[in-house]
Structure 1
Amino acid sequence: MTAPPLAVVAGTGFYDLEALQDRSEQTVETRWGPARVTHGRWHGLPVVFLTRHGPGHTLPPHLVNYRANIRALADLGCTDVLAVNVTGSIDPDLAPGDLLCLDDFLDLTRQRPLTFFDGSGPQGVVHVDVSTPYHPELRRELLEAAAALGQPMRDGGVYAAFEGPRFETAAEIRLARLAGADVAGMTGVPEVTLAHEAGLRYAAVSLVVNPATGVGEGTEPITMSEIEAVLTRSREAVVAVLDELVHTRATFAEEDAG
């Protein structure tokens, strides 16, 4: 039996997965619009890769078609989604380059379509439980992959999703910190909740690339050059963790087949 494809969704700084072999591009048409994906094989396993912002980072976070993206992954037969979020640190103990395996979120967005269940479909209005927004088994796989590589990764973290595309104010970051947030980003929601609605297992790695506004002693403005510099030296750590996870899955698949 062929394994369902593993979905990998990433954003800023992650526009390709060089490890994918036998790759092909596809535009998937959904009720919510088109989604562009890359098919390939990673350690022999089928993978579907989706970059949120499109080729060349053409889509700002508030205009990403999250519903089309998640619906396309579900329609392609994916059951598991591994996401990568580039974030700013709200917790002052987090430094650029640190990794977190997220376990909760705050939704501070304002104007995005948040659900498949807007009352227009046959299901009507549906209230989805998100008491465990990030799937425990996928989280375990990510943490074990990081441990196998000796790559530090914090077990647990709260992601505060802001609307963007501007960076947050110091007051907004103080508010999020009071609410228990560890990192700030612009793309994690509604992606995670839509995955729940679509019946997908979802987990996310947060890569810290800068202190959020007002965090730490410095008062320098956040710049994309600062973020890109951290991405340049830290991106491979994230890809290595994903590679180890896929390699482990491939090994188990071979053992089961044998």
Structure 2
Amino acid sequence: MAIGILTGSGTYALPGFTTSGSEPVLTEWGEAFVSHGSWAGVDVLHVSRHGVGHPRLSNHVTHRANIAALKSLGATGVLAVTVCGAVEPDAELGSVVCFDDLHFLSNRLPDGSLCTFFTEPGAADRGHWIYEGPFSSGLRAALLRGGEEAGVAVRDGGCYGHVDGPRFNTRAEIRSLAAAGVTAVSQTAGPETVLCGELELPFALLGFLTDYANGVTEEATPVSTLVENMAASTELFASILRAAVPHAAAATPDNAGVVYRFHA
């Protein structure tokens, strides 16, 4: 039994994580690279979405392989972090959000295929993921408690908006997301949320606001500011996660909703 951790841009390793290094894990959906070790006294499985040196852009991330690998290796829950563009104009750059809702209308993987493990008619595990909220309340509580213990203010609640990359969005696209109530956007966590839901793997998501999305403020956030904030996210995320993983491991994380399956 272990806690899975998914990290993105700016966080390619976990400070103080005792591991032999990233190892390939072969799944039905391709190869994933997972580091297995101990962190804060907890058995942890770490996946760096983009890899050291960022060889994989958002459109190269193999989401199904990553989530299937974590499940097969015994993860009982997954804590994920992502740097985000703020859609709300009064949101403060450098702040952290623990999301409680999802905007992912396309429901597509980077290759354009539908975001699901249920690809074969008649498969025994096929079903509909049905939920009120897409994130695990127990793992959200662990992240919020981790923020408190790390001395980092974490906003409790917000809508994560998944957008396709690798390009950033136009003003018109951001206006539509703002009208839908989206708090912040990034390019990777939508598929992770859905795929964990389908595997009944509890999942929770933190976002660090690095910049204002296009058109949110009169003046665009300089790219240099985005890069500086991305660098600042590394230790902040690590401090919250380091404090949160013991709580996540000690709890019995709840699944978000149920998967209604059709049995022959």
Tell me, yes or no, whether TM beats 0.5: yes
| Greater relative contact order structure (CA < 8 Å, 6+ sep) | 2
1:76-225 matches, cutoff 5 A: 76-109=73-106, 111-119=112-120, 122-123=123-124, 125-219=126-220, 223=223, 225=224
Report how many aligned residue pairs link the two structures: 247
Q: CA deviation at 1:121?
A: 6.6
Task: Say what the alpha-carbon RMSD is for the aligned residues.
Answer: 1.9
Select which of 6, 9, 19 maps to 1:9: 6
Q: Larger deviation: 117-126 or 95-104?
A: 117-126
> Hey, what does 1:36 align to over in structure 2?
33
User: Contact (CA 8 Å) 1:158, 1:181: kept in 2 or not?
Assistant: yes
> Hey, what does 1:256 align to over in structure 2?
none
**Residues 33, 120 of structure 1: alpha-carbon distance in 2 compared, 3 angstrom cutoff:** farther
Percent identity of the aligned residues?
36
Q: CA deviation at 1:91?
A: 0.6
Once residues 196 and 121 of structure 1 are traced to their aligned partners in structure 2, the CA distance between those partners, rounded to angstroms, is 20
> Hey, what does 2:55 align to over in structure 1?
58
Q: CA deviation at 1:179?
A: 0.5
Once residues 118 and 246 of structure 2 are traced to their aligned partners in structure 1, the CA distance between those partners, rounded to angstroms, is 36
User: Contact (CA 8 Å) 1:66, 1:191: kept in 2 or not?
Assistant: yes
Q: Which runs of 5+ in 2 are unaligned?
A: 252-264
Return the letter of the residue paired with 1:159.
Y
Once residues 180 and 203 of structure 1 are traced to their aligned partners in structure 2, the CA distance between those partners, rounded to angstroms, is 19
Return the letter of the residue paired with 1:117.
F
Q: CA deviation at 1:123?
A: 2.6
Once residues 34 and 207 of structure 1 are traced to their aligned partners in structure 2, the CA distance between those partners, rounded to angstroms, is 28
> Hey, what does 2:240 align to over in structure 1?
241
User: Contact (CA 8 Å) 1:85, 1:185: kept in 2 or not?
Assistant: yes
**Residues 167, 116 of structure 1: alpha-carbon distance in 2 compared, 3 angstrom cutoff:** same
Q: CA deviation at 1:124?
A: 6.5
Q: Which runs of 5+ in 1 are unaligned?
A: 254-258
Q: CA deviation at 1:125?
A: 4.3
Q: CA deviation at 1:145?
A: 1.5
Once residues 227 and 161 of structure 1 are traced to their aligned partners in structure 2, the CA distance between those partners, rounded to angstroms, is 18
Q: CA deviation at 1:237?
A: 1.5
Tell me the TM-score normalized by structure 1: 0.89
